[in-house]
Amino acid sequence: MSNTENTIHDFDVALICEYFSSMKRQGPGSTEATLKALSFIDNITEKTKIVDLGCGTGAQTIALAQNTVAGSITAIDLFPGFIDKLNEQLIELHLKDRVKGVVGSMDNLNYQENEIDIIWCEGAIYNIGFERGLNYWKKFLKNGGYVAVTEASWFTEDRPKEIFDFWNDAYPEIDTIPNKIAQMHKAGYVVVASFILPEVCWTNNFFKPAVSAQELFLEKYKGNKSVEEFIKYERRHATLYDKYKDYYGYVFYIGKKI
Ligand code: SAH
């Protein structure tokens, strides 16, 4: 860690979760990107079992539920506050019969081998690492089953030191798209598709809604140094994205278990 800047690991998890609970998304994404990834996956029937890992408050869970005609979806997140929010929305949207939110960890799944058809994971595999997650999840997938994940990726071979240092602190496993594809392949998947998430997934859908959430949070925790530092970190994240978005972003990787 540098002397002057905090890294995301310096902050209290409960604080981070409370802040993100107030937002529709806890990471960059969009319904359009979710549906584009879904378009590469065929044969969804009433028997299809989808598991959405690190679902947060469920923006992508709901997009999946509303755009598949059948099948069950179990959305799992470590943080109970996010699952409560998701379950409230599922009741409101009358999706409770096909979709459920459950507290759990993506590295300790309670499934049989070869049980799941589709593992979804937007903006969350970094919590256990891309390679580790893909390797661990594979046994729970049926042969021919799919994994669809978004992962922070470099767009270029070289990058300015400032942004390299930021990501090296936050998530050193960030890598180039060809390297991520090779890792997915090595873990036992055919990479069916990969595409870069459009900038709006970060700007309109993530950083923009964060502005008012940050103001409210600062107001609520006036004088709390830890909160002030956390918000400063989140704002820096947005500034760096604006400055360096040609060098990195989130990429959807869709793999089929072989
Ligand atoms: N998919 C959501 C949330 C992404 S943020 C979206 O795109 O909006 C990352 C999420 O991973 C958070 O909700 C966090 O609580 C969750 N998470 C962190 N570690 C986890 C773990 N080990 N198992 C399950 N979820 C985890």
- The pLDDT value given to residue 2: 43
**Stated pTM of the model:** 0.95
The residue whose CA is least distant from atom 19 of ligand 1 is 127
Give 5's pLDDT tier (boundaries 50, 70, 90): confident
Closest residue by Cα to atom 13, ligand 1, is: 56
Nearest atom within ligand 1 for CA of residue 17: 15
Q: Which of 78, 86, 128 best tests ligand 1's pocket when mutated (most atoms within 8 Å of CB)?
A: 78
What mean pLDDT is reported for the chain? 95
Would you state the structure tokens that stand for residue 108, as one six-digit string? Answer: 């300790």
Distance 73 CA to ligand 1 centre (A): 16
Q: Is the pLDDT of residue 3 over 80?
A: no
Q: How far apart are CA 202 and CA 14, in angstroms?
A: 23
Q: What is the pLDDT at residue 59?
A: 98
Nearest-CA residue for ligand 1 atom 17 is: 54
Query: What's the average model confidence in pLDDT over 17-27?
Result: 93
What residues line ligand 1, using a CB cutoff of 6 Å?
A: 25-27, 29, 53-56, 59-60, 76-79, 82, 105-107, 122-124, 127-128
Mutate to test the pocket of ligand 1, among 21, 77, 250 (most ligand atoms within 8 A of CB): 77
Tell me: pLDDT of 173 over 80: yes
3-state DSSP assignment of residue 147 = strand
Predicted local confidence at residue 69, as pLDDT: 85
In the chain, % of residues over pLDDT 90: 91
Give percent of the chain above pLDDT 70: 98
Q: Supply the pLDDT for residue 60.
A: 98
Ligand 1 center to 2 CA (angstroms): 26
Segment 64-86 mean pLDDT: 95
| Cα 105 to middle of ligand 1, angstroms | 9
Question: What pLDDT shows up at residue 14?
Answer: 86
Window from 14-28, 136-150, 151-165 with minimum mean pLDDT: 14-28
Q: Is the pLDDT of residue 12 over 90?
A: no
- Ligand 1 centre to CA of 47 (Å) is 26
Please report the pLDDT score of residue 9 as a whole number: 73
Residue 251 and residue 236: Cα distance in Å, rounded? 21
What is the three-state SS of 179-240?
HHHHHHHHCCEEEEEEEECCHHHCHHHHHHHHHHHHHHHHHHCCCCHHHHHHHHHHHHHHHH
More confident residue, 22 or 75: 75
Name residue, tokens 């830890």.
226
pLDDT in tens, 119-135: 999 999 999 999 999 99
Q: Which CATH class is domain 26-197+248-257?
A: alpha beta
Asked whether the predicted pLDDT for residue 1 surpasses 70, the reply is no
Mean pLDDT of 225-253: 96
* Model pLDDT, residue 4: 61
Task: Give the side-chain half-sphere CA count within 13 A for 170.
Answer: 19
